[in-house]
Amino acid sequence: MIKRLLFILLVISSVGLASSHEDIENLTEYAEKLSLVKNYDGAGVLYNRIALHHSNASDWDNASKYYALAALNFTMAGDHESAGASYRLAGDCCTGQKECDNALEYYELARENYIKNDPDYDDSWIDAKIRECREKSLMSGLVIFGIFIGMLKFSSKAAFGMGFSRLNTREILAVASIYLVVPLLMCALISVADDALYEAINALFGMGFAFGVFQLTLAISLLALGFYTVKKWNQSKKDVSRRTFLLMALPCPVSLATIFLTCAFLVIAGMGALKAGLLVGGIFFSTIIVITTVLRRTRFSKKPSNLGSMMIFFGLLYLLSILLVPAYLPVSEMEISIKGFPVSDMIPGFLFILAMTSIGFVRGRIGIANRSE
């Protein structure tokens, strides 16, 4: 027993030295050799240290893999307490990836080993862990959904800006291509960012107030230039839309941040950088082209005053989003409980908003038709 403890202490000290030199491959080979010669305690300790290295690097796949190997070796050595702890850590890594089913398997193995070591072991933490994993998975899905809605908002702004301006097809394709290329460039940076990616995401979330100021500035600018475009056309028939549409069409700091966060979340979720860039850029590009084409083929008048009206509409929309959406508040510091919140209570509100929007659209079309007659 004393020899085993001395060996483990020797392994731990050597691992600390080796991992400081990032010689993880050699450590892995050494752990495999220890397992082959049935020194399961030593192999388990090494695998735990290797898993910790990957965990610190946020490499959850390898971390859970090596924690599981450590647990398997501890089980073979009869050290069920250490095996349970390693399986629990493997489950935590899966929870970090929102892989709740895999996490549950590891937690069940942890429970089995803990109970073998202590028949009266309290395993109530497993249900709490799984519930936490599923809540995080749901919230991550909502975050990604919200970001895609933001993408749709910004792409629609660009599409309406070009749809109501007098641009030719080549100019429209040129602007839409910007939204295709930017996500690809961002994903290329993300692919080589490593740990700096998480620092960048934290920095962006820490700039919530700044993005609120950016969006407020954009909203006021859209309102001001929208009224200016309408006034110039109605009073003197002067077309300034080829200059003012740029505020609608080109990416702003908030839209660039939305593109970056979307790409980052997709890459973190396991999607390849190239695929993520093509997906995000493709959504922007296709949305802009489709909406612009539909606007060009409808009976909407392409007068500059209509562009000004759309700029006013998006300016008001941005102002409304700042007032109603707490995107720039320190939400992470607030205690929010969603337990028992009935989703059905949200349906009447959505129906009311949809009805008011439809009524306003129909009345606007009737007014345009009456004026044209």
pLDDT tens for residues 141-160? 666 677 777 778 788 888 88
- Within-domain flag for 178: yes
- In angstroms, rounded to a whole number, what is the distance separating the alpha carbons of residues 87 and 113? 9
Reply yes or no on whether the pLDDT at 167 is more than 50: yes
299 and 162 housed in the same domain: yes
Q: What is the pLDDT of residues 31-73, one digit of tens each?
A: 888 888 888 888 888 888 888 888 887 777 888 888 888 889 8
153 and 273 housed in the same domain: yes
- Within-domain flag for 231: yes
Predicted confidence at residue 134, as pLDDT, reads 67
DSSP character string of 16-84: HHHHHTT-HHHHHHHHHHHHHTT-HHHHHHHHHHHHHHHHHTT-HHHHHHHHHHHHHHHHHHT-HHHHH
The beta-carbon contacts of 88-92 under 8 Å, at least 24 apart in sequence, are 89/48, 89/51, 89/55, 89/63, 90/51, 90/63, 90/64, 90/65, 91/64, 91/129, 92/129
Number of structural domains in the chain: 2
171 and 108 housed in the same domain: no
With contact defined as beta carbons under 8 Å apart, do 285 and 178 qualify? no
Reply yes or no on whether the pLDDT at 239 is more than 50: yes
Lowest mean pLDDT among 147-156, 185-194, 267-276, 329-338: 329-338
- Within-domain flag for 247: yes
- Within-domain flag for 365: no
Give me the domain span that covers residue 208.
142-324
157 and 115 housed in the same domain: no
Predicted confidence at residue 13, as pLDDT, reads 45
112 and 150 housed in the same domain: no
Predicted confidence at residue 16, as pLDDT, reads 45
Q: What is the pLDDT of residues 26-42, one digit of tens each?
A: 788 888 888 888 888 88
- Within-domain flag for 224: yes
Burial class of residue 310, CB neighbours in 10 A (0-12, 13-18, 19+): buried
- Within-domain flag for 24: yes
Reply yes or no on whether the pLDDT at 3 is more than 60: no
- In angstroms, rounded to a whole number, what is the distance separating the alpha carbons of residues 116 and 307? 72
Q: In CATH, what number is assigned to the domain containing residue 66?
A: 1.25.40.10
Predicted confidence at residue 270, as pLDDT, reads 67
Reply yes or no on whether the pLDDT at 137 is more than 60: yes
Reply yes or no on whether the pLDDT at 82 is more than 50: yes
- Within-domain flag for 71: yes
30 and 84 housed in the same domain: yes
Mean local confidence (pLDDT), 230-247: 83
113 and 164 housed in the same domain: no
- In angstroms, rounded to a whole number, what is the distance separating the alpha carbons of residues 175 and 189? 22
